[in-house]
Structure 1
């Protein structure tokens, strides 16, 4: 299973970025290979409108099974992501990527409706 995190950095110690659309990085963890990679998302930093949908498209292209974030995607981005089988969990905004993964494993994050 591949798990994506919205993050302010690129490793396990990075803080979760509570913002979905304007997250600095998307950190990907592949549970099968134990590989942690990241994708720079700062190109949307100066976009006036549509950052969420651009990030949603990028996430769709990366193909994770799960997204862990702080506040969740906004309306337009959520509409894009609903067309996928992506499971979204929120409430990790004050955690590191490692802490968020541990919380996901324990089932203590909230499913995004």
Structure 2
């Protein structure tokens, strides 16, 4: 299972980014292989409109199964993610990536 975390830095120790489409980076953790990769989202962060759907498309291209973020995606991005059957968890905006992963494992994040 591939889990995507919206982050402020490309690091497991990074703080989470509460905003889905405006996250500068996405850390992708493959639970099966233990591999960590990063998606650089800085190109679309400053776009006036459409950042969320573009981020959702990127998550589809990366075959992400779960997204952990702060506030969750907007309506348009959520529609794209729903088509992919991606599970979204929110409430991790004030956590580090490591803390967010523990919260996910402990079922303390809210399903969006």
Q: TM-score, normalised by structure 2?
A: 0.97
Paired positions, count: 112
Q: Which runs of 5+ in 2 are unaligned?
A: none
Shift of 1:41: 0.1
Q: Which runs of 4+ in 1 moved over 2 A?
A: none
1:93 aligns with 2:93: yes
Root-mean-square deviation (CA, aligned residues, Å) is: 0.7
Alignment correspondent of 1:12: 12
- Distance in 1 (CA, whole Å) between partners of 2:46 and 2:31 is 33
What do the CA deviations read for 1:46-71 (whole angstroms, capped 9, x no partner)? Answer: 21110111101001111111100000
Q: Which runs of 5+ in 1 are unaligned?
A: none
**Secondary structure of 1:82's aligned partner:** helix
Alignment correspondent of 1:61: 61
**Secondary structure of 1:20's aligned partner:** coil
1:104 aligns with 2:104: yes
Q: TM-score, normalised by structure 1?
A: 0.96
